[in-house]
Amino acid sequence: MREAQTPHDGCGSSREASRHRKVDGVARALLCVLMFVSFAVAWSPRASAQGYSASTSDPGGSVSGTTKSKKNASSFGAANAPSAVFGKINTNLDRAQPMRLQGDQLIYDKSGDRVISRGNVEIFYNNFILTADEVVYDQGSGTLTAIGNVTLKEPQGNIVHADRYTLTDDFRDGFVSALSITSKDKSHISADSATRREGNVTEFHNGRFTPCQSDGGTPPLWCISATRIIHDQSAATLTYQDAYFEIYGQPIFYLPYFQSPDPTVKRKSGFLTADYGHSSTLGYITGIPYFFNLAPNYDATIEPIYFSDQGLMLKGEWRQRLANGEYNVRLAGIDQNSNDLPGGNASNNFNQDLDGLRGSVETHGRFSLSSWWQFGWDAIVESDDQFRRFYKLDSILVTDRVNQVYLTGQSDRNYFSAKLYQFGGLLTNDTPQTESYTHPIIDYNYVFKDPVLGGELKWNTNVLSFTRADGSVVDPQTGRDADQNVNRIVTELKWRRRLTDAIGISYTPFADIRGDVYQYDNATNPETVQVTDGVITNHGEVFSDTVTRGIVDGGATVSYPWAATSAAGTHIIEPIGQFVAHQESIPQRALPDEDAQSLVFDDTNLFSTSKFSGNDRIETGTRVNAGLQYTFQSNDGGYARFLAGQSYHLSGDNIYLNPGRNADGNYVFNPYNGLETDRSDYVIGAYIAPLSNFRIISQSRFDQSTFALKRQDSSMITSWGPLSVQAGYSYDADALFTDPENPDTIATLSREEEVLAAATLQLTNRWSIGGSSRYNLQDGNFRYDSVNLKYVDDCFALTASYIQSNYSDESIEPDQTVMLRFEFKHLGDFATSTGTDFNLGGDQRTN
């Protein structure tokens, strides 16, 4: 290999001088150290190139004005297209468009067969502008030479600066002295000289390339200086020979040969930015993706990721855009040695079922079938519940897997949705009952155009076909484990009308009529399951049947808002009362509950005719809901709303009491929900936004007899100058808890209390720091926390992340991870946004 040469200046100053320069500022020093340590970065395909040329006027034309090209002029003017420095040659020129030449002096040298224009020379042609102190056209040699302060402005946005610019008359081959080019995106390339040959290749001698901006004598953040930089316009590549990569003018390492796309290429096959990191469970992490630019509308990426403690994992992704949408497919897999997993060894391996091939397939699709109809899917299929979280393809906080395929349609008065779901739990304490499928669930809603009895009439229909892989249900006929199947049709008419009397009292009467048809196979009767001292003693009766039920309810909501105006704003006090009458009782306690297991009583459903989240349970009897709402709207835009209330069960069956148990012995829904007594718990909601950048939401529930806090959910979002903060607090005095170390035990009541917080501080216009944390107040430990340091400027991005997790679940153990990512504009995929949390399942590219 030939010896490296240093005949040219470095980026910003001479190389010799740069050796002795001290980089000012802690920020520069930190960047230099981090970039030097990690600079095994594989270069990215995201870059581009163009050509260069100039145009001139007819030498026989006037000094200032428009000239028609003659025979000699056409050889270097309208008959031949100028080319760009970086980018495709402009072949869409108007050949009939005349050139315009103006200058202070025009000289005809008949003896030398030359035409000379001097003094403020300007040549205009097809949006190309060439300016120079002097332009000489040699008709004998067929060359055009621009001399002194030469500037060529191209339609693509490039600006070429040179002391001397010589071209043949066909604008293809030429020589440029002391060349400097600024592309449209402010990337810079400079050289002592440049030669263009074969109409396609430009060779820069003692060249320097950087997309970074610098002020005064400060060198750019990074730069590549090379003895030769060769630009192949057809291949859109830049080839560097005898090159140095420099940071703030300091040579970091030598590159005998290196190639990258030119600055205008947005998508090109090649290596993407590498990932670096270390995890206490995975070891050292290194991944280098390779991007295949197969076509303008589809591409592929392959990334081998090496974990020093686990081995080599392969990832791949296919992305494609079609005329009406897009989809992608991601693959990941590893040949797992279970002895390498936490807790595993040759003599006592707790993870033998994870030995061998492990992997996952992830796919997403979104398609617009028409202006009203949408089709898509979101699905992940994995070899085991631990794989994606263990290898950080998903966040450790992901506890459930929900796959779906959907078709939706919406117009002014119609809404249709058909979805196929697959539900699965990812935790140790998940049971076979967490594995279920809907095939499908269909919702149809229609709002009648014309009023009925002066009010609005809606028609809602729900169709469900559901299967649970329930290993705890035994078919009474065969004695084998059997799946549970549910088929259901629910249809209802809902009518509402709002009236206001002369003194401002608002009356909203309503009425609902609903009919259900259920068909069950191998269902468990929740009333027959028995638990004694925390141990299930009877798994319950299993039955198959077809059940119909209907319900009619009606009532009215009455409110009387009182308004007052002050110098600060408007105050509204509004007492609200609601009376709801249902049938006293309907046969539903013996039926399984699939979609009404979530029951959270708060201010948002205080005035709902049913507080359940789904259709399998219906409120019965007569109930009165009452509350008081206060709203304040300040004159400067501030806002506050408070709602406090209570619900009263007057008669009939209180369905919120005695929920029954499923086949695993756990409650169908939480029996301590605040509605189990005739007089419910108190609920209070507070929504406060005194400023546009500050919001607080608080939802509380207090015991109806002791006023003890039973449940609290609060969140706060604010931004103040460079600081953005999000915080949340949750408390549940009667949460259902299953010990993860004993997943087969029955869930018991336990207090849960957590604080979540996240913050981002913009230290400077380039540096920012952020973090998030999840702290369990009940156990007194951090469940999850992360810190994120980021630097971003016009040509470089650095993200350093530290993540600590204290979750345990089979092979997943508490873990500390440090990740680094470097992105160089035109040399690596360049994205200015990086989340606070880092996972290896993210998409690095920007389009």
Q: Would you list the DSSP string of 786-845?
A: EEEEEEE-SSEEEEEEEEEE---BTTB--EEEEEEEEEETTTS---S---SS--TTS---
Does the structure show a pLDDT above 60 at 741? Answer: no
CA-closest candidate to residue 751, choices 710, 780, 783: 710
- Cα dihedral 689/690/696/702 (nearest 10): -100
What are the pLDDT digits (tens) for 43-77? Answer: 333 332 222 233 333 333 333 333 333 323 322 33
Stretch 617-646: mean pLDDT, rounded?
A: 96
Stretch 221-240: mean pLDDT, rounded?
A: 87
- CA distance linking residue 675 with residue 681, whole number of Å: 7
Out of 110-124, 293-307, 598-612, pick the least confident.
110-124
For β-strands 767-776 and 781-792, DSSP reports them as antiparallel
Greater pLDDT, 498 or 15: 498
Which range scores top for mean pLDDT: 373-377, 518-522, 764-768?
373-377
- Sequence-distant (6+) residues with CB within 8 A of 122 are 100, 101, 102, 103, 129, 130, 131
Query: Contact 541/528 with Cβ under 8 angstroms?
Result: yes
Out of 64-78, 367-381, 468-482, 519-533, pick the least confident.
64-78
- Reduced 3-state DSSP string for 640-652: EEEEEEEEEEEEC
Stretch 508-535: mean pLDDT, rounded?
A: 91
How big is the chain by its Cα radius of gyration, in Å?
A: 36
CA-closest candidate to residue 407, choices 442, 445, 380, 451: 442
Stretch 485-492: mean pLDDT, rounded?
A: 95
What are the pLDDT digits (tens) for 126-144? Answer: 777 888 899 888 877 777 7
Provide the pLDDT for residue 300.
95
Query: Contact 189/208 with Cβ under 8 angstroms?
Result: yes
Report the predicted TM-score, pTM, of the whole model to 2 decimal places.
0.77
Residue 500 β-bridge partners: 506
Query: Contact 229/209 with Cβ under 8 angstroms?
Result: yes
Does the structure show a pLDDT above 90 at 25? Answer: no
Give the rounded percent of residues in the chain with a pLDDT score beyond 90. 48
What are the pLDDT digits (tens) for 252-310? Answer: 889 898 888 887 777 788 888 888 999 999 999 999 899 998 998 999 999 999 999 99
- CA distance linking residue 232 with residue 273, whole number of Å: 24
Question: Confidence class of residue 474 from pLDDT cuts 50, 70 and 90?
Answer: low
What are the pLDDT digits (tens) for 379-425? Answer: 999 998 889 999 999 988 888 899 999 999 999 999 999 999 998 88
What are the φ and ψ backbone dihedral angles of 446, each rounded to 5 degrees?
A: -140, 135
The residue assigned the tokens 């949390």 is 837
Does the structure show a pLDDT above 90 at 675? Answer: yes
Out of 44-58, 192-206, 692-706, pick the least confident.
44-58
Give the rounded percent of residues in the chain with a pLDDT score beyond 70. 81
Does the structure show a pLDDT above 50 at 145? Answer: yes
Provide the pLDDT for residue 297.
93
Greater pLDDT, 477 or 758: 758
Provide the pLDDT for residue 11.
67
Stretch 640-669: mean pLDDT, rounded?
A: 93
Q: Please state whether 462 falls in left (phi above 0), alpha (psi between -120 and 50) or beta.
A: beta
- Reduced 3-state DSSP string for 298-341: EEEEEEEEEECCCEEEEEEEEEEEECCEEEEEEEEEEEECHHHC
Average pLDDT, the chain: 82
Does the structure show a pLDDT above 70 at 610? Answer: yes
Stretch 460-489: mean pLDDT, rounded?
A: 79
Greater pLDDT, 739 or 794: 794
Greater pLDDT, 676 or 273: 676
- CA distance linking residue 470 with residue 435, whole number of Å: 8
Provide the pLDDT for residue 842.
55
Stretch 484-492: mean pLDDT, rounded?
A: 94
Provide the pLDDT for residue 81.
33
Stretch 154-168: mean pLDDT, rounded?
A: 78
What are the pLDDT digits (tens) for 784-812? Answer: 899 999 999 888 888 999 999 988 877 88
Provide the pLDDT for residue 426.
82
- CA distance linking residue 687 with residue 692, whole number of Å: 13
Greater pLDDT, 684 or 183: 684
Question: Confidence class of residue 839 from pLDDT cuts 50, 70 and 90?
Answer: low
